[in-house]
């Protein structure tokens, strides 16, 4: 299942969500991007994710334009407040989800900064966990549909006395 997580700068929220979702399941191919990507991933985002065992140090902000021609099962936007516009993805998308989060990078002072990033991390983890469960449910339904389609096709072929195509 292919998932793209979008935000404006691709330096904080989308990177944190990317890290969480990728850590939950190898069944997902996760990417993140922004409409106006920053030069680097926010160091505080890297720090607070490292505290929970997720390494974002090799992540780099990317422009959404590199993904416009790709097909996605899900595109998830994570932009928050009214003073920020979430990107509208125009590529081939199965389902769009919006999970808005306020940007913690506007915090002032060491204590407030740490608190806001850790709060954002906790909120992102909760929402991404809910999204991951939702995506897994959809993936299971997809596989069940394939399984029952194969059973139906096999029974139909047998009833019509057609040769079965066996795939090794």
- pLDDT tens figures, 3-40: 999 988 898 889 988 988 888 777 789 999 998 899 99
Residue 106: the pLDDT is: 66
How many Å from the N-terminal Cα to the C-terminal Cα in the chain? 23
Report yes or no: 7 and 79 within 8 Å, Cβ to Cβ. Answer: yes
N residues, the chain: 168
Average pLDDT over residues 71-78: 88
Report yes or no: 33 and 66 within 8 Å, Cβ to Cβ. Answer: yes
Q: In 13-147, at which residue ranges do the beta strands (DSSP E only) sit? A: 29-34, 71-77, 92-98
Q: Is 71 exposed, middle or buried (0-12, 13-18, 19+ CB in 10 A)?
A: exposed
Residue 45: the pLDDT is: 86
Mean pLDDT value across the chain: 76
CA distance 164 to 44: 58
Torsion sign over Cα 100, 58, 40, 110: positive
- pLDDT tens figures, 106-128: 655 566 556 676 767 777 777 76
CA distance 69 to 72: 10
**Confidence class for position 168, pLDDT limits 50, 70, 90:** very low
CA distance 82 to 22: 28
Q: Which of 86, 97, 113, 139 is catalytic?
A: 86
- pLDDT tens figures, 139-167: 566 555 655 655 665 566 566 665 555 54
Average pLDDT over residues 70-75: 90
- Has 12 been annotated as catalytic? no
Q: Which of 5, 79, 99, 107 is catalytic?
A: 79
pTM of the model: 0.67
- Has 79 been annotated as catalytic? yes
- Has 129 been annotated as catalytic? no
The region, left, alpha or beta by phi > 0 then psi within -120 to 50, assigned to residue 53 is left
Q: Which residue has the higher pLDDT, 131 or 101?
A: 101
Residue 132: the pLDDT is: 62
CA distance 149 to 125: 35
Q: Which of 5, 6, 7, 41 is catalytic?
A: 7
């Amino acid at each position: 299942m292919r998932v793209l997580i979008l935000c404006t700068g691709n330096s904080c929220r989308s990177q944190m969500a990317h890290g969480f979702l990728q850590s939950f399941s190898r069944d997902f191919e996760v990417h993140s991007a922004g409409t106006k990507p920053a030069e680097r991933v926010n160091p505080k985002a890297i720090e607070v994710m490292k505290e929970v065992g997720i390494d974002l140090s090799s992540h780099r902000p990317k422009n959404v334009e590199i993904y416009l021609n790709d097909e996605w099962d899900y595109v998830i936007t994570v932009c928050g407040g009214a003073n920020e516009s979430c990107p509208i993805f125009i590529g081939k998308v199965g389902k769009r989800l919006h999970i808005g989060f306020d940007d913690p990078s506007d915090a002032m002072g060491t204590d407030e900064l740490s608190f806001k990033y850790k709060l954002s991390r906790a909120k992102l983890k909760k929402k991404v966990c809910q999204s991951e469960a939702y995506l897994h449910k959809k993936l299971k339904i997809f596989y069940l549909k394939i399984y029952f389609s194969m059973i139906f096709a096999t029974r139909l072929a047998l009833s019509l006395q057609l040769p079965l195509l066996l795939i090794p």
